[in-house]
Structure 1
Amino acid sequence: MLISGSLAAIIHLFLSRQQEHDGFTQQEWMISIEQMMNECKESQAVKTAEHGSVLICTNLSGQDIRFDIYHSMIRKRVDGKGHVPILDHITAMKADIENGVVLLKIESEDQKVYQTAFPVYSYLGGG
């Protein structure tokens, strides 16, 4: 029963992925933002670089967690090493920090613009 339920979910994701053409699904967007938000939430410092195309979170161990554009994806790197795809099918990313809030704007390959904002607790005296 569990296998058939999992298979149905995989088939659904595969079919819905085809329907998106050159973009990404809402679920992919939500998961990627949650990953970025969690890294920032657990960081002692958060900053942007390269005119906002890079978001850097320095964790409590002093490691720099970097989210940047690589080809048509946002990837995560730790201290300049590794390559973890976070969100695929993008053409641009712009991050900014204002009043303790990360403002993130992403454009997909199908020219849709997605925006979100989340607090950076280190700026607010937390974390």
Structure 2
Amino acid sequence: MSNDEQGFTLVQALCQLQLFLFLSFGCVLIFSVVEKARPFEEINQFSQMEWKQTVLQLDEELSRATAVRSVKEGKALEYISDQGRVVRVEPYQEMLRERMDEAGHLPLLQKVKQFRVRTNQHRAILEVTDVSDKVYEAIFFTYKGVVPQT
């Protein structure tokens, strides 16, 4: 080959390959870091798992309750547990909580914007609106009856 011909040498090809691999792995690294940072966005969202767990827990408790009623103009649910304790499910700040005998509380759901309860005959209907305005509804059947609203 003469000196005036343009061409790649093995060294130039290896340098180009090294640059290409460096940029490729750099992009992959950046995308993986961005993807791992995404779950932190979900911290501020309503948890589907919490909702399902709350519904299952309330379903079991209300099926054994001796009396169920909505209070505070439908903004809270109150029932008497099978152990005779008065339990109230009500919103508090951005959470839905459960209180027994007006003492302490147990958080049930986070990121709750609004909570409504309707009771009739042998049913209690809960409606929860999360902070992104998505509405969730659960219907519970009570076997020992519903006390009229107060």
Structure 1 length as normaliser, TM-score?
0.78
Match of 1:47 among 37, 56, 69: 69
Partners of 1:119 and 1:31 in 2: how far apart? Answer: 17
- CA pair 25-40 structure 1, distance change in 2 beyond 3 A: same
Of Structure 1 and Structure 2, the greater helix share is in: 2
Q: Give structure 2 stretches of 5+ with no counterpart.
A: 1-36
Deviations 1:33-80 (A, max 9, x none): 112222211110001100111111101332101111111101111100
Which residue of structure 2 lines up, in the alignment, with residue 78 of structure 1? 100
Q: What is the SS of the residue equivalent to 1:52?
A: coil
User: C-alpha displacement at 1:21, in angstroms?
Assistant: 5.5
- Assess if the C-alpha contact under 8 Å between 1:68 and 1:75 holds in 2: yes
Which structure has the greater CA radius of gyration?
2
RMSD (CA atoms)? 2.0
- Assess if the C-alpha contact under 8 Å between 1:59 and 1:65 holds in 2: yes
Structure 2 length as normaliser, TM-score?
0.66
Q: Answer yes or no: is 1:34 the counterpart of 2:56.
A: yes
Partners of 2:137 and 2:97 in 1: how far apart? Answer: 18
Q: Give structure 1 stretches of 5+ with no counterpart.
A: 1-14
- In the TM superposition, structure 1's runs of 4+ consecutive aligned residues that sit over 4 Å from their partners are none
